[in-house]
């Protein structure tokens, strides 16, 4: 009896902590279902749900375009990163060569170069190359943080693929690339999915490069969300509704890939 009471007590504390922690997220979601005018004039707890703000953002061409841009940049940068990093992960785990560790560490280190440091040269280079305000250009910038991140994520997955299959395939006359393509890659498919999903998330959440490197054509959703602050009055309803849309894939990934979250964060995946 005493034990059950203790359990209930612990549960109550934990529930309280989680509830307080989730308040800001609740604020975003509920405000998306309010009108701007109600947020300005009524109490924060006034809640008469309406989809008016959603109606407004989905008739807003700027927001729809930016959502598409976010999706495109995230997909391109995640796919490219997974492609190059999976080749490299195979190379780093299956071969021994001179300066292997040095090269690997050099590649991984680039993940930790602050974005603001790279934003300056990117700006000048992209302006010269005509990649400014271009979704491909933004994707390239995102590859700079995603590729080393994906490589660090993939290496343990590739290292854990049993070598027996690979050796059997080689004895049967398979070339090294065949081994990679037919054996190792399918056997590390879980890792590839995890890496893609987390790289997608990094790019999806990214703001600084989008701010500096894009303009009216290639701007992504976080830029448009911030623009809802407006010149005269912040359009909190639309801002929250569009934020909620952006959070949907984030929460789907966070909850769906729980098993891998720790690995994802441990690899240095805090921010883009």
Partner 1 sequence: MHLFFVLPATVVVMAVSIFPAIYAVYLSFTNRRLMWLGTMKFLGLENYSRMFNDSLFLHSLRLQFTFMALAIPIELIIGFLVALLFLKDFPLSRLLRSLLMLPVYVLPVVSGLTWRLMLQPEYGMLGKLFKQISLGPAAWLADVRFAFVAVVLQDVWRMWPFMFMVLYAGLTSIPNEYLEAAQLDGATPFQRLFWVIIPLIKPVIVTALLLRLIDALRIFSEVYVMTYGGPSNATMLLPLYIHRRAFEFGEIGYGSALGVFLMIVSLLITYQLIKRSMRGELA
Chain residues 126-185 in contact with partner 1, contact rule CB under 8 A: 140-141, 143-144, 147-148, 151, 155-156, 159, 176-177, 180
Among 194, 201, 218, 241, binds partner 1 (CB under 8 A): 201
Closest approach of Cβ 55 to partner 1, in Å? 21
In this complex, which beta carbon is closest to partner 1, that of residue 122 or of residue 196? 122
**Subset of residues 204 to 243 that bind partner 1, contact rule: CB under 8 A:** 204-205, 207-208, 211-212, 222, 225-226, 229, 234, 236, 239-240, 243
The Cα–Cα gap between 240 and 233 comes to: 14
Among 49, 121, 130, 173, binds partner 1 (CB under 8 A): 121
What are the start-end ranges of the H helices in the chain?
2-32, 36-41, 52-58, 61-94, 100-109, 115-129, 135-159, 163-171, 176-178, 185-187, 189-205, 208-213, 221-227, 236-256, 258-266
Q: How far separated are the first and last CA of the chain, in Å rounded?
A: 49
Plot region of 49 (φ>0 → left; ψ -120 to 50 → alpha; else → beta): beta
188 binds partner 1 (CB under 8 A): no
CB neighbour list of residue 131: distance below 8 Å, 6 or more residues apart = 125, 137, 140, 213
1 binds partner 1 (CB under 8 A): no
Closest approach of Cβ 89 to partner 1, in Å? 8
The encoded tokens of residue 205 equal 């959440």
Among 58, 110, 133, 134, binds partner 1 (CB under 8 A): 110
- The size of the interface with partner 1 (CB under 8 A), counted in residues, is 103
Among 32, 53, 74, 122, binds partner 1 (CB under 8 A): 122
């Amino acid at each position: 009896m005493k034990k059950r009471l203790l359990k209930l007590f612990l549960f109550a504390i934990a529930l309280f902590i989680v509830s307080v922690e989730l308040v800001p997220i609740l604020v975003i979601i509920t405000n998306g279902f309010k009108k701007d005018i109600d947020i300005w004039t009524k109490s924060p707890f006034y809640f008469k749900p309406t989809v008016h703000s959603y109606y407004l953002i989905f008739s807003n061409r700027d927001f729809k375009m930016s959502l598409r841009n976010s999706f495109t940049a995230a997909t391109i940068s995640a796919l490219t990163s997974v492609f190059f990093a999976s080749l490299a992960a195979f190379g780093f785990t299956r071969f021994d060569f001179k300066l292997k560790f040095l090269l690997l560490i050099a590649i991984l280190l680039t993940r930790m170069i602050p974005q603001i440091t790279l934003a300056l040269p990117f700006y000048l280079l992209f302006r010269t190359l005509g990649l400014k305000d271009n979704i491909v250009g933004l994707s390239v910038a995102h590859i700079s943080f995603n590729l080393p991140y994906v490589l660090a994520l993939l290496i343990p997955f590739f290292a854990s693929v049993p070598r027996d299959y690979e050796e059997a395939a080689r004895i049967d006359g398979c070339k090294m690339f065949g081994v990679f393509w037919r054996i190792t890659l399918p056997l590390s498919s879980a890792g590839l999915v995890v890496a893609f999903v987390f790289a997608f998330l990094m790019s999806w959440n990214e703001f600084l490069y989008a701010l500096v490197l894009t303009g009216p054509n290639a701007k992504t959703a976080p830029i448009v969300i911030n623009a809802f602050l407006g010149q005269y009055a912040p359009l909190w309803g639309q801002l929250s509704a569009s934020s909620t849309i952006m959070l949907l894939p984030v929460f789907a990934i966070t909850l769906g890939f729980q098993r891998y979250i720790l690995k994802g964060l441990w690899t240095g995946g805090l921010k883009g």
